[in-house]
Homo-oligomer: A and B are copies of this chain.
C-alpha cells in the first residue's frame, strides 16, 4: 500500500499511432483484456511508473502492448476530465505517433486480447474518452502536414515521389497536381535520390528517394 497525505490521481499515457496502408489512414487499437471496458477497443497505454519519464512510459507501453518501438512520438495533449475513468481519477498524457507502413510487426501483449489496425472511417466504439483523443490527434496530424515534414515519418527507408504524394492525398483527402507536388517537395531539400529505382509493372521505373534527416521533423514555410 502507498499512502499520501492528500489524494493523488492516477496518471497514464495513451498513444495514438497512425500509419498509411491499403490507401487508408489507419489507427492502431488494442482490445482490452481487463475491466473496465473489457473487450472494448482502446488506445494502447498504461500507468506511468514512478521512476520513468512520460515519453519513456509511452514508449514502454507501446512496445509492451503492440511490439512497436523506435518510432516518432510527440506529446499531444493531457486529458483529465474528472469522470473519464470509472475506477478512480485518472489523468492521461496522450502521445501521437506515426510509423511507416512496412515496419508493422504487431504482437498483442498479455494485457491486450488483440491488436489491430483500423481505418479512420471504420473505427469501432472506443473505451474511455479515447474517441476525443483520436479526434484531436487526427486534427493535429492534418494540420502538421501543412507546416512540417511530419509526413516523412510514414515513409519506409526508400520510397518514390508518387508514394509520398499518395500519403499526402490520403491524409488530406484531396488530389494534388503531380508537377506542383514534386516541385514543392524537392524545394524543401529534405529528401534526396538514392540512385536506385523501383520497377514494378508495365511502365517506366520510378526513382527512389530517402529522407535526409529521418530523426528530425522540420517546420517549413
Q: Which residues on A are within 8 Å of B, measured CB to CB?
A: 1-11, 47-48, 50-54, 75, 77-78, 80-82, 89, 91, 93, 147
Please give, as numbers and ranges, the residues of chain B lying within 8 Å of A1 by CB-CB distance.
Answer: 3-5
Q: A52-B82, A77-B75, A80-B93 are in contact. Are A2 and B8 (CB under 8 A)?
A: yes
Contact of A48 among B52, B77, B80 (CB under 8 A): B80
Contact of A8 among B10, B81, B93 (CB under 8 A): B10
Please give, as numbers and ranges, the residues of chain B lying within 8 Å of A5 by CB-CB distance.
Answer: 1-2
Task: Give the distance to chain B from A52, nearest Cβ to Cβ, in Å.
Answer: 7
Do residues B2 and A47 form an inter-chain contact, with CB atoms below 8 A? no
Do residues A54 and B91 form an inter-chain contact, with CB atoms below 8 A? yes
Please give, as numbers and ranges, the residues of chain B lying within 8 Å of A91 by CB-CB distance.
Answer: 11, 48, 54, 91, 93
Task: Give the distance to chain B from A182, nearest Cβ to Cβ, in Å.
Answer: 24
Shortest Cβ distance from A91 into B: residue: B11
Contact of A11 among B11, B47, B82 (CB under 8 A): B11
Please give, as numbers and ranges, the residues of chain B lying within 8 Å of A147 by CB-CB distance.
Answer: 147
Do residues B80 and A6 form an inter-chain contact, with CB atoms below 8 A? no
Do residues A53 and B75 form an inter-chain contact, with CB atoms below 8 A? no
Do residues B2 and A48 form an inter-chain contact, with CB atoms below 8 A? no
Task: Give the distance to chain B from A216, nearest Cβ to Cβ, in Å.
Answer: 17
Cα distance A77–B54 in the bound complex, in angstroms: 12
29 contacts between A and B (CB under 8 A): A2-B3, A2-B4, A2-B6, A2-B7, A4-B4, A4-B8, A4-B10, A6-B47, A8-B10, A8-B11, A9-B11, A9-B48, A9-B50, A11-B91, A48-B80, A48-B91, A51-B82, A52-B82, A53-B80, A53-B82, A54-B78, A54-B80, A75-B77, A75-B78, A78-B78, A78-B93, A91-B91, A91-B93, A147-B147
